[in-house]
Amino acid sequence: MNQAVNVGTHSKENFETLGIPTGRLAMWWFLASEIVIFGGLICIFLLMRWRHPEWHAEAEHTLNFAGGFNTLVLLTSSLSAVLAHDAIEKGLPKKAASYLGYTLLGGILFLGVKSYEYAHEIGAGFVPAKSMFWSFYYLMTGLHAVHVIAGMIAIFVVMLGVRKGQNLQRVELVGIYWHFVDVIWIFLFPLLYLSA
């Protein structure tokens, strides 16, 4: 961690007894609790899926180009989040703000494609109550989408601050969160799309 990042977190009251910036420590604890939410959900799904091999017939309907494209979009948006953090470390907040802008664009594109998928599936009669597979599909991708939206709001707020040169350490924090959202998708994609 270089000095440019630590400027914002260090203050007289904040001892950092462990030597880890308090914000980062809090973010990891927050993610620990998030991991348990998605972890629990994924365990439930796996146990159910194991008992119901017939779900693969339903899962075939999710296997399409859109899902793969969305995975690419989300991974790319994580790349620009890393580049934003890198720009902060090099002392270039303006550049970091525009990288965060690209991450936001990625998020918007991801949600757009996801909405198109939802509309397409619901139009074809695959509504949440159709069968257990679809219930899980909408529950898990929906909960993930809520996290994407929350992450985008956070990134937007941080981006506005960074433009004015404020709270630079937060770029790293929203970056960690965005990677988490990305990793969750990496789990959901094979489970819900590729498992046909």
Partner 1 sequence: MSDSAHASSQSFITKYIFSTDHKVIAKQYMFTGFFMALLGGFLAYVIRMQLTYPGESIPGYGAINFLQYNSVVTMHGTIMIFWVAMPLLLAALGNFLIPLMIGARDMAFPKLNMLSYWIFFLSVVVLIASFFVPGGAANGGWTTYPPLSSAKYSGGQWGVTLWLIAVALEFAAFLLGGINFVTTALNMRAPGMKLFDMPIMVWMQVVASVVFMLSVGPLIAGAIMLLLDRTVGTGFYDPAQGGDPMLFQHLFWFFGHPEVYVIMLPAFGALAEVLTVFSRKTIFGYKMIVYATIATGGMSFLVWAHHQFVAGIDPRLATPFSITTILISVPVAVTTFSFMATLWKGKIRFTTPMCFALGTISLFLLGGVTGIHHGAPASDMFLHDTYFVVAHFHYALIPQVFFAFFAAFYFWFPKMFGAMFNEVLGKLHFLGTFLFMNVTFLPMFVLGFMGHQRRIANPQMFDTLRNAQVEHLHFIATIGAFGLLLSQVPLLINLVVSLIKRKAPGNNPWQANTLEWTTSSPPGHGNFETQPTVYRGPYEYSVPGAAQDFIPQNVKQ
Torsion sign (Cα): 156, 161, 165, 167:
negative
Phi-psi map region of 10: left, alpha, beta (phi>0 left; psi -120 to 50 alpha): beta
**Would you state the structure tokens that stand for residue 80, as one six-digit string?**
């620009």
Sign of CA dihedral 110, 112, 114, 116: negative
Could you tell me where the DSSP H helices lie in the chain?
A: 3-9, 22-51, 56-59, 65-89, 93-123, 132-163, 170-189
Q: Which stretch binds partner 1 (CB under 8 A): 40-48, 63-71, 101-109, 113-121?
A: 40-48
* 22 binding partner 1? (CB under 8 A): yes
Residue 54 burial (CB count, 10 A): 9
Q: Is 194 in the site for partner 1 (CB under 8 A)?
A: no
Nearer to partner 1, 76 or 167 (CB): 167
Angle at 115 between CA 110 and CA 117, to 5 degrees: 95
In this structure, what DSSP letter does residue 50 have?
H
Residue numbers 50-79 binding partner 1 by CB under 8 A: 52
For position 35 contacting partner 1 by CB under 8 A, the verdict is yes
CB of 3 to partner 1, least distance (A): 19
User: What character string, x for contact with partner 1 (CB under 8 A) and - otherwise, covers 1-20?
Assistant: ----------x-xxxxxx-x
Smallest distance from the beta carbon of 66 to partner 1, in angstroms? 23
Confirm or reject binding of residue 33 to partner 1 (CB under 8 A): yes
In the complex, what is the shortest distance from the CB of residue 133 to partner 1, in angstroms, rounded to a whole number?
A: 9
- Tokens standing for 63? 């296997």
Looking at 38, 99, 180, 185, which residue binds partner 1 (CB under 8 A)? Answer: 38
Tell me if 167 contacts partner 1 by CB under 8 A: no
Residues in contact with partner 1 by CB under 8 A are 11, 13-18, 20, 22, 25-26, 29-30, 32-41, 43-44, 48, 52, 128-129, 131-132, 135, 139, 143
